[in-house]
Structure 1
Amino acid sequence: MLYSGKSPAAKRADFRSALASGELLRFPGAFNPLSARLIERKGFEGVYISGAVLSADLGLPDIGLTTLTEVAGRAKQIARMTDLPAIVDADTGFGEPMNVARTVQELEDAGLAGTHIEDQVNPKRCGHLDGKQVVDEHTALQRIRAAVDARRDPNFLIMARTDIRAVDGLQAAVDRAKALVDAGADAIFPEAMATLEEFAAVRAAVDVPLLANMTEFGKSELFTVQQLADVGMNIVIWPVSLLRLAMGAAMRGLDELTENGTLTGRLGEMQHRSELYDLIDYEAYNHFDTSIFNFTIER
């Protein structure tokens, strides 16, 4: 009932143990708290919270327009709904190194299991668009050092994302990944790798967990979980997939209303009311106080 009964500290400790197992962890992207609960119900290992999704949820493009307050607040709402660890996209850290430090502590307080900080210039842009720019290595390392110094729970995962592959090539990405690890990054997110061989090259260069981004319509081929496991990836995310599926269904439903004036023909595509009630655990609320929650769930 209500929120997860597992503390953020326990989620972080469990996440670290899972990473140490060497198994590939699957983190679909949640677009709201209820979808995070569904991800858990379907047996995945974690929840990813995408900056692109948080921006789109506000009707904004993914170009650094969201604020720390907006990201931390929404991430808290999502993370507290599930026993799974949740990782959130913190873009460039919302400012200078001191802002990065504050970002980490705000996200710790929000119950996240980890975050990633990227090396794009601010304002950033979507990692799979052309025309990206990255900061110099000194600035990138300052961000990660500030994040590591600021955290209070040593199990809170500080991941460094590098977008330099699309700017200066694979070798530059390998070199920067090494430097970011030396600066204290617990994990590396090499963005927009084009092939499995490129993922493997980063894997060979660093001895920390690696994240693979399987976003649709981007620079990377959509590799399978098994393919990514075979080249040594530790986490795979599908950051915007559930939002895209949901919005695609919503578009088709609105078109159906326009054309036919009813959604009768779409009932088979909908989550049934009983399935929704089961997911949000209506029964537990009913048992909590039958003098208030005195309804009956129809099956």
Structure 2
Amino acid sequence: MTNDISPGRRLRNAWTAGPVALPGVFNPLVARMAERLGFSAVYLSGGALSAGSGVPDIGLLTLSEFVQAAQLTAQATALPLLCDADTGFGEALNVERTVRLFETAGVAGIHLEDQEMPKRCGHLSGKSVVAPEVMAAKIRAAVAAKKDRDFVIIARTDAKGVHGFDDAVARAKRYLDAGADGIFPEAMESREEFEQFAKAVPNAVLLANMTEFGKSPLLDVTTLGQMGYRMVLFPLTAFRVAMKAAENTLREILTNGTQQASVPGMQTRAELYDLLGYTGYEARDRAYFGS
């Protein structure tokens, strides 16, 4: 049964079966929706989590805030959840605790990045990266800390935008040698760079980030899979669409005094209750009272 298989193993099975799209889920109910629609894994983005908390993605949220969101999301779906863990919330010894808390929360794995603090969105300029040996130490700590051998550790490198393509490749190989299960090369700037990176780091589990309005072209899952990428992130796609819809609806209420024009685009009460499993809660409540 699925529940007998660890979240990490389910994520590994998903990417082994073919390139897997990981939609960013900005709350637990969206994770359940993704499961209903047929996705095989989901993703918790630090950028979406920060934005939803009203702060920019520069490392302001704490480990506890990340883990709480991860736990609530993992509890809402049977899908394996990959989580953004920023820079690991400290140095190598801090990374040990980071891994233990995320694993206890029920997630499938995390990705760690090699930026210096304060970190920045991967598609903005002004980033800086730690020395590769510092990141390699974090990876070794992460691998040593996990209890489930299938818990996934992905190493993200932001070096391409700082020191160039060749340094990103060299770091990827070093991080794999340190025990990373896969590599996330951030902010590739063309289809050709995605292809070249996959060829330069062969036989590795690679993750591509298809965030909008960034430096990378928006390539489809099939195309990236043919290059050799096993996971494809859509970290803020649903979040951005939802925020724009909320803005338009609020503007309509402010301007017209009614939400009437927005009703056809809404999730209905029946659809919401079905997604929540509302009738199941009512039935169990009646049963507990013996009626």
Normalised-by-shorter TM-score class: over 0.9
Give % identity: 50
Q: Which segments of 5 or more consecutive residues in structure 1 lack a partner in the other structure?
A: 294-299
Is 1:92 the equivalent of 2:61? no
Please point out which of 218, 222, 225 is paired with 1:222: 218
Report the equivalent of 1:160.
155
Contact 2:20-2:221 within 8 A present in 1 as well: no
Partner SS state of residue 82, structure 2:
strand
Structure 2 equivalent of residue 284 of structure 1: 280
- Does the 8 Å contact 2:44/2:70 carry over to 1? yes
Q: Report the RMSD for the aligned CA atoms in angstroms.
A: 1.7
State the secondary structure of the residue aligned to 1:66.
coil
Aligned AA (1:274): A
- Aligned partner (choices 228, 239, 261) of residue 232 of structure 1: 228
SS of the aligned residue for 2:249 comes to: helix
Return the offset for 1:12.
2.1
Give the unaligned 5+ runs of structure 2: none
Amino acid paired to 1:36: A
Query: Partners of 1:131 and 1:234 in 2: how far apart?
Result: 29
Separation of aligned partners in 2, 1:145 and 1:139: 10
The answer for the alignment partner of 1:136 in structure 2 is 131
Matched, 1:68 2:63: yes
Whether 1:250 aligns to 2:221 is no
Deviation at 1:175, TM superposition (A): 1.0
Of the three residues 271, 291, 294, the one matched with 2:267 is 271
Of stretches 205-214 and 33-42 in structure 1, the one that deviates more from structure 2 is 205-214
Q: In terms of mean alpha carbon deviation, does 140-149 or 192-201 score higher?
A: 192-201
Say whether residues 1:191 and 2:186 are aligned partners. Answer: yes
- The answer to whether the Cα contact below 8 Å between 2:7 and 2:151 also exists between their aligned partners in 1 is no
Q: Which of 23, 26, 36 in structure 2 is aligned with 1:28?
A: 23
- 3-state SS, counterpart of residue 61 of structure 1: coil
TM-score under structure 1 length normalisation: 0.93
Query: Which stretches of structure 1, 4 residues or more, deviate above 4 A after TM superposition?
Result: 5-9
Which residue of 111, 119, 143 corresponds with 2:114? 119
Q: TM-score, normalised by structure 2?
A: 0.95
> In structure 1, what residue type is equivalent to 2:74?
A
Structure 2 residue 241 is matched with structure 1 residue 210: no
Is residue 2:14 matched to residue 1:18? yes
Counterparts of 2:5 and 2:68, CA distance in 1 = 18
Per the alignment, do residues 126 and 8 of structure 1 end up closer, same or farther by CA in structure 2, a change over 3 Å counting?
Answer: farther
Distance across 2 between alignment mates of 1:68 and 1:187:
22
Residue of structure 2 in register with 1:50 after alignment: 45
Cα distance in 2, alignment partners of residues 64 and 6 from structure 1: 34
The answer to whether the Cα contact below 8 Å between 2:6 and 2:108 also exists between their aligned partners in 1 is no
CA contact (8 A) 2:58 2:120 kept: yes
- Whole-angstrom distance in 1 between the partners of 2:32 and 2:117: 33
How far, CA to CA, are the matches of 1:9 and 1:291 in structure 2?
Answer: 31
8 Å CA contact retained: 1:8, 1:111 = no
1:223-256 residue CA offsets vs partner (Å, 9 max, x unmatched): 1122212211100111011111111000000100
Instruction: Work out the number of aligned pairs and report it.
Output: 289
Q: Which segment is superposed worse, 94-103 or 224-233?
A: 224-233
Tell me how far apart the structure 2 counterparts of residues 292 and 182 of structure 1 sit (CA, whole Å).
55
CA distance in 2, matches of 1:6, 1:110: 17
CA distance in 2, matches of 1:62, 1:213: 16
Say yes or no: does 1:103 pair with 2:98: yes
Task: Write the letter of the residue equivalent to 1:287.
Answer: A
Query: In structure 2, the residue corresponding to 1:48 is in which secondary structure?
Result: strand
